[in-house]
């Protein structure tokens, strides 16, 4: 019998994936967690029926959410990831030799454990001595840390239930305070195609707090709309003004210095949202 996973990407439109095998399915304290193996995208982490990351296309998201801010900051030493229990962002952060410490603050310990077990290609750096893992709510964690991180990366689920508070002005204020005086933050900020109002609101919330705020885009096949937005807020450095000729070679599959410049070039319908 054929098994298919259906993700409702938006009311009235869904993506379906042929599933070879379900490796784990459990109700955690916070969400319905599954890791399944699929024909086309390989293994994938699914939370509350929504695809979070897949072996085949995770590189796009994890490279872009990390290397854009880390190559904008001239000397990032201490980095925080909120969410991101799969470890993909941590793996990319630790490719930067300047980084001394990367803290992961993930609310759901089961995500970390199951990804370590079934997605080793993604979670492989979680055991690195420079990585410190904290299981708890990112909202609380960020409130309790001041003037500490050079870069904060919000690698969160969509803005509902446990992740709702990770989108918006109150959280961004706490992030501003948790950053050092030339710190930078970046967040995954959903699909401008299906959720233009969300992108617009979140961007304006960030713009009210950070002196430099920019939106950039990347093509991610398994995320709704296939074309995903990230919002970057910076106290000092402008990510669009980086001297990309000075960016050192890194082992990546999507990110290049040219992409660093190009990802900030927005189609007209997205420009309208961040005017």
Active site residues: 155
- Is 21 a known ligand-binding residue? no
- Using CB under 6 A, count the residues that bind ligand AAT: 28
Q: Which is nearer to ligand AAT, 192 or 257 (CB)?
A: 192
Q: Is 52 in the site for ligand AAT (CB under 6 A)?
A: yes
> With CB under 6 A as the contact rule, which of the stretches 17-25, 84-92, 96-104, 238-246 interacts with ligand AAT?
84-92
**C-alpha 9, offset from chain centre:** 18
Q: Which is nearer to ligand AAT, 172 or 242 (CB)?
A: 172
Q: Classify 267 as helix, strand or coil.
A: coil
d(CA 70, CA 64): 10
With both helix axes pointing from N to C terminus, report the angle between 196-207 and 169-178 in degrees, rounded to the nearest 10: 40
Q: Is 80 in the site for ligand AAT (CB under 6 A)?
A: no
Q: Which residue is nearest to ligand AAT (CB)?
A: 83
Q: Which is nearer to ligand AAT, 109 or 176 (CB)?
A: 109
| Residue 97: exposure state from Cβ atoms within 10 A (0-12, 13-18, ≥19) | exposed
CB of 27 to ligand AAT, least distance (A): 13
Q: Which is nearer to ligand AAT, 152 or 212 (CB)?
A: 152
- Whole-Å CA distances, 144 to 141, 178, 183: 5, 8, 17
CB of 114 to ligand AAT, least distance (A): 10
Structure tokens at 51: 């695809």
Closest CA to 24 of 13, 32, 16, 15: 32
- Is 92 a known ligand-binding residue? no
- Is 86 a known ligand-binding residue? yes
Asked if 168 contacts 161 with a C-beta cutoff of 8 angstroms, the reply is no
Q: Which is nearer to ligand AAT, 19 or 225 (CB)?
A: 225
CA quadruple 113, 117, 118, 120: dihedral positive or negative? Answer: positive
Q: Is 111 in the site for ligand AAT (CB under 6 A)?
A: yes
Q: Classify 43 as helix, strand or coil.
A: strand
d(CA 172, CA 142): 9
- Is 181 a known ligand-binding residue? no
- Is 156 a known ligand-binding residue? yes
**Residues between 115 and 174 with contacts to ligand AAT, criterion CB under 6 A:** 137-139, 155-158, 162-163, 166
CB within 8 Å of 53: residues ≥ 6 apart: 44, 45, 61, 62, 86, 88, 119, 122
Interacting residue with ligand AAT among 38, 43, 70, 83 (CB under 6 A):
83
Annotated binding-site members for S-methyl-5'-thioadenosine: 31, 106, 137-138
Q: Which residues bind ligand AAT (CB under 6 A)?
A: 47, 50, 52-53, 61, 82-86, 88, 105-108, 111, 137-139, 155-158, 162-163, 166, 188, 223
């Amino acid at each position: 019998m054929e098994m298919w996973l259906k993700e409702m990407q938006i009311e009235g439109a869904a993506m379906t994936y042929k599933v070879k095998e379900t490796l784990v399915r459990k109700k955690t304290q916070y969400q319905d967690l599954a890791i399944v193996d699929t024909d086309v995208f390989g293994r994938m982490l699914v939370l509350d029926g929504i695809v979070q990351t897949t072996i085949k296309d995770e590189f796009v998201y994890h490279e872009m959410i990390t290397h854009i801010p880390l190559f904008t900051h001239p000397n990032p030493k201490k980095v925080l990831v909120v969410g991101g229990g799969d470890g993909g962002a941590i793996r990319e952060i630790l490719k930067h030799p300047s980084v001394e410490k990367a803290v992961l603050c993930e609310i759901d310990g089961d995500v970390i454990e199951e990804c370590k077990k079934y997605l080793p290609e993604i979670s492989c750096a979680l055991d690195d001595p420079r990585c410190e893992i904290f299981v708890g709510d990112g909202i609380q964690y960020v409130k309790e840390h001041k003037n500490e991180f050079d870069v904060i990366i919000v690698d969160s689920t969509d803005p509902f239930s446990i992740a709702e508070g990770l989108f918006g002005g109150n959280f961004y204020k706490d992030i501003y305070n948790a950053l050092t005086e030339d710190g930078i933050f970046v967040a995954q900020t959903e699909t401008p195609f299906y959720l233009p109002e969300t992108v617009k609101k979140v961007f304006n919330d960030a713009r009210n707090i950070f002196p430099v705020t920019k939106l950039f885009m990347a093509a991610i096949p398994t995320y709704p709309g296939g074309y995903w937005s990230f919002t970057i807020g910076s106290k000092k450095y402008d990510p669009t003004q980086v001297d990309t000729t000075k960016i050192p070679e890194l082992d990546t599959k999507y990110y290049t210095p040219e992409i660093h410049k190009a990802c900030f070039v927005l189609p007209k319908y997205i420009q309208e949202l961040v005017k």
